[in-house]
Amino acid sequence: MQKPAENETDPEKVRLEQVAALTDPATIRYLEEIGVGEGWTCAEVGAGAGSIARWLSNRVGHFGTVHAIDIETAYMDGLSAPNLEVRQQDITKEPLEEGAYDLVHCKILLMHLPERERVLGEFARALRPGGHLLVEEADIRSIQRVDPPSPLLTRAASALETFFYFGGADPGYGMKLLPAFRRTGLRLSGTDCQLTAVQAGTPEMETIALSLAKLAPVITKVGLMGQKEVEAAFDLLRQPSDTVLYTPITVSVWGRRSED
């Protein structure tokens, strides 16, 4: 992947950081409830820009280990600690080592993978006896709820949902996560969901705008929206107004392998 010039900001890195800013506080609460402690060996799969990997690194201390795993690691440049290893790895082709981890965590990853159920089972098998699995997945259909009503923004949200299906992803997988998790055989410890209302023209809305910007070229190419419609949707998202919509619902489920 070609990096932007030093004076440029990579839009995808910004998007990943915006998603982390919205979702990491809840993730950290779940990890604290799980009780991540010193000396743990952790896998952060789909690590993105590395914010949770960094938190885990601080949490597990000098005798712990964190593997920050992603198919694209460029966004973790500069992420460094003696107990943290950045791994470029496609977990659909190279599964995690069985029985190796005290914690496996992934966020907004499985919904993009056609073989998501198989990968989820492999995450469960990667746990040591007593190890914990925390999985967080999105249901993006919630972004179609807009107030005051906006047919244009609802159309843009619908186009995003349709595009996900084209690529083999499941935009509603968050709502299917709990039964899928139970099928792994792990003992369920907890479940929660996060939904945030964001207002047009705010930094929080930029997460939605950047996601639309990332997919806009393909959305227009396949005819889901016209270029002028996309540009008008951007204007509605980025200009300050009373328009409010929901972020994608993030469903979080965590559980534990039995001691055996």
Does 1 have pLDDT greater than 60?
no
pLDDT digits (tens, 9 = 90+) for 137-175: 999 999 999 999 999 999 999 998 998 888 789 999 999
Please state, in angstroms and rounded to a whole number, the distance separating the CA atoms of residues 46 and 50: 9
For the residues 50-57, what does the mean pLDDT come to? 98
What band does 108 get if pLDDT is binned at 50, 70 and 90?
A: very high
What band does 114 get if pLDDT is binned at 50, 70 and 90?
A: very high
Which tokens in the block code for residue 56? 């885990």
Q: How high is the mean pLDDT of the chain?
A: 93
Does 197 have pLDDT greater than 60?
yes
pTM for the model: 0.92
Does 221 have pLDDT greater than 50?
yes
Please state, in angstroms and rounded to a whole number, the distance separating the CA atoms of residues 53 and 66: 7
CB–CB of 189/183 below 8 Å?
A: no
Please state, in angstroms and rounded to a whole number, the distance separating the CA atoms of residues 253 and 152: 33
For the residues 112-119, what does the mean pLDDT come to? 96
Does 91 have pLDDT greater than 90?
yes
Give the per-residue pLDDT at 5.
Answer: 44
pLDDT digits (tens, 9 = 90+) for 4-29: 444 357 888 988 999 999 999 999 99
Torsional sign, CA 36, 69, 73, 27: negative
CB–CB of 237/209 below 8 Å?
A: yes
Give the per-residue pLDDT at 8.
Answer: 54
- Go through the chain and tell me how many residues it has: 260
Please state, in angstroms and rounded to a whole number, the distance separating the CA atoms of residues 69 and 161: 26
Q: What are phi and psi of 60, to 5 degrees?
A: -85, -15
Please state, in angstroms and rounded to a whole number, the distance separating the CA atoms of residues 43 and 64: 11
